[in-house]
Amino acid sequence: MSFKNLGLCDQLLKAVKEQGYDEPTPVQKEAIPVILAKRDILAGAQTGTGKTAGFTLPMLELIHRHKDESRKKHHVRALILTPTRELALQVEESVSLYGKFLPYKSCVIFGGVKINPQITALRKGIDIVVATPGRLLDHISQKTIDLSKVDFLILDEADRMLDMGFINDIKKVLAVLPKQKQTLLFSATFSNEIKKLTDSLLNSPVLIEVARRNQSAEQIKQIVHPVDKTRKRELLTKLIKEGDWQQVLVFMRTKHGCNRLSEQLSNDGISSAAIHGNKSQNARVKALSDFKAGKVRVLVATDIAARGIDIDQLPHVVNFELPNVSEDYVHRIGRTGRAGNKGEAMSLVCVDENEFLANIEKLINKDIHKFIVKGFEPDPSIKAEPIKMGGGGGNRGRGGNSRSRGNNKPRNGGASRGRR
């Protein structure tokens, strides 16, 4: 897919070309069409994914499509909030860069510097404001900024803003914005605080989550253990016990499979909890906190359930079943080996899953090392069978490598989060 297919105007395409970008990054491919369709988004993308262009380009496009010819003066149409001055500067730089062939003006507002030049700039007329919450509130209380015509609110690194104690400032800012607007929220993690904020702030958001670039990176040791389907549990138990693994995240394709495996592991003497879309919020929170606290050794999860939880830097991630959507493999293994920590991602692969494996290897552009554990040699007489997607985690037409997660969301309200 090229930038041209995304429906951006020539001025933006020219700016992108000048940057030397050949094609959109995954977050750009997913986010740009959804934003252009005027949906709110909740995006789990970190720095390095190309997220800034992912929201800046469609924001500029929509501002341009809906420009108000009758208005001579610029007025603030987009507000981008960031936790730090550095990020505010970086984002504003991107806005200027991508918008260089369009007539819109942007400025950056943060504390620790004189307020007067900011007031002067605002008075002259600004279309896009990139701000940290504290100084923005100063402008709001001094009535030196008018945010009553904001069409876009973008919260960048929302989790960091909350960590830094900006929640009340954010609420005060929200109070002066129009109710009717498009809101885009980016966060690397999805804590309960973020969920609370998103519930009140976003309107039927489309969930977008992409891995970091080069996610399937060197520090993650990936390995495939070929094994018969009926012996996977036995093998997993052996690996956990012999390796003395204390914290393992295990992925399943279905909710039913999660429950069953969790029970079986507990029967094998390995403390375990299941987490998936049929579990109540309380049950999920408890499973997760027990896992984090080391009370439970294994957390068995579906892809979607694992998305919303802020666990990473795990030493062991196991694909008890390979995902039918190849990108999910990258998300799953991205739970380990972060920030220079060593991590291990292991996949137990039976003959039925060979096609999934081939698709994954194609996506990550590498062959994953195969190692047959002694005593668990696959029976060559077993023929591959089609994979049934039961337990509510049915194959909803998401097979293959090319689906856009955003486009598979229901369009008719309700948080557009798949529940598996």
Q: Which residues bind ligand AMP (CB under 6 A)?
A: 21, 24-25, 28, 47-53
Q: Least distance in Å: CB of 93 to ligand AMP? A: 10
Q: Least distance in Å: CB of 19 to ligand AMP? A: 6
Q: Least distance in Å: CB of 183 to ligand AMP? A: 19
CB nearer ligand AMP, residue 3 or residue 110: 3
CB nearer ligand AMP, residue 25 or residue 183: 25
Q: Which residues pair with 214 in a beta bridge?
A: none
CB nearer ligand AMP, residue 45 or residue 109: 45
Q: Least distance in Å: CB of 342 to ligand AMP? A: 25
Q: Least distance in Å: CB of 83 to ligand AMP? A: 14
- Rounded CA separation 89/107 (Å): 9
Q: Which residues pair with 152 in a beta bridge?
A: 78, 182
CB nearer ligand AMP, residue 26 or residue 393: 26
126 close to 74: Cβ distance less than 8 angstroms: yes
Q: Least distance in Å: CB of 55 to ligand AMP? A: 9
- Closest Cα partner for 136 from 169, 167, 165, 106? 169
CB nearer ligand AMP, residue 19 or residue 341: 19
CB nearer ligand AMP, residue 8 or residue 227: 8
Maximum C-alpha span of the chain: 79
Residue 293, both tokens: 């606290």
CB nearer ligand AMP, residue 327 or residue 353: 327
64 close to 9: Cβ distance less than 8 angstroms: yes
CA within 13 Å, CB half, 205: 22
CB-count exposure of residue 214 (10 Å: 0-12, 13-18, 19+): exposed
Q: Least distance in Å: CB of 48 to ligand AMP? A: 5
Would you give the distance in Å from CA 49 to the centre of its chain? 10
Q: Least distance in Å: CB of 22 to ligand AMP? A: 6
- Rounded CA separation 409/205 (Å): 9
CB nearer ligand AMP, residue 22 or residue 69: 22
- Rounded CA separation 256/253 (Å): 9
- Helix/strand/coil for 84: coil
- Closest Cα partner for 29 from 342, 406, 355, 410? 406
Torsional class of 337: left (φ above 0), alpha (ψ -120 to 50), beta (otherwise): left
